[in-house]
Amino acid sequence: MNPTVGIAVILTVLQAAHCQMIKDLSACLQGQSLRVDCRYENKTSNPLTYEFSITKDNRKHVIHSTISVSENVYRSRANVTMQKNLVCLYLQSFTTSDEGVYMCELKATNDYTGNQIKNITVIKDKLEKCAGFSLLIQNTSWLLLLLLSLPLLQAVDFVSL
């Protein structure tokens, strides 16, 4: 086999094996709870495992996970919801002692390229409220359509004069 063809085949297989990629990690306050949204692109129907952790005082603390064991201090306050292309961590009774660098780690079964990891620094006083924050993220297509239609609406008003 030609070495160039062999390398091309290997690269194609490696790209196909890369099953998911974290696209965005964001955090906001929902009442007294912290919500961390881990958005990803999934190219497979293989089961997805996750881990949310926090690094503070140069030590990693697992908050909620299907990969490893969560720490007791977070176990009763944390829960996770999964939707299509979104894994959300909810940490109840969020205080300044919960500030730190939050990490989302994802791994799809049979994804041989390794875990996908993304970090976000969370400081309570700098967090947005989830209502307005998530509206822009979740309803981007609706908002974009509205912005694109403004010139049409202005043209209709001009014609009616």
Fold of 22-130: Immunoglobulin-like (2.60.40)
Whole-angstrom distance, CA of residue 19 vs CA of residue 109: 9
**Domain boundaries in the chain?**
22-130
Whole-angstrom distance, CA of residue 66 vs CA of residue 88: 13
Q: What is the pLDDT of residues 70-118, one digit of tens each?
A: 999 999 999 999 988 899 999 999 999 999 999 999 988 776 667 789 9
Residue 20's pLDDT is 60
Whole-angstrom distance, CA of residue 125 vs CA of residue 21: 30
Q: Which two tokens stand for residue 67?
A: 């990969």
- The answer to whether 104 touches 117, Cβ cutoff 8 Å, is yes
Query: 47-51, 77-81, 150-154 — which is least confidently predicted?
Result: 150-154
Q: pTM score, two decimals? A: 0.69
Q: Which two tokens stand for residue 45?
A: 């129907």
Closest CA to 99 of 74, 124, 80, 118: 124
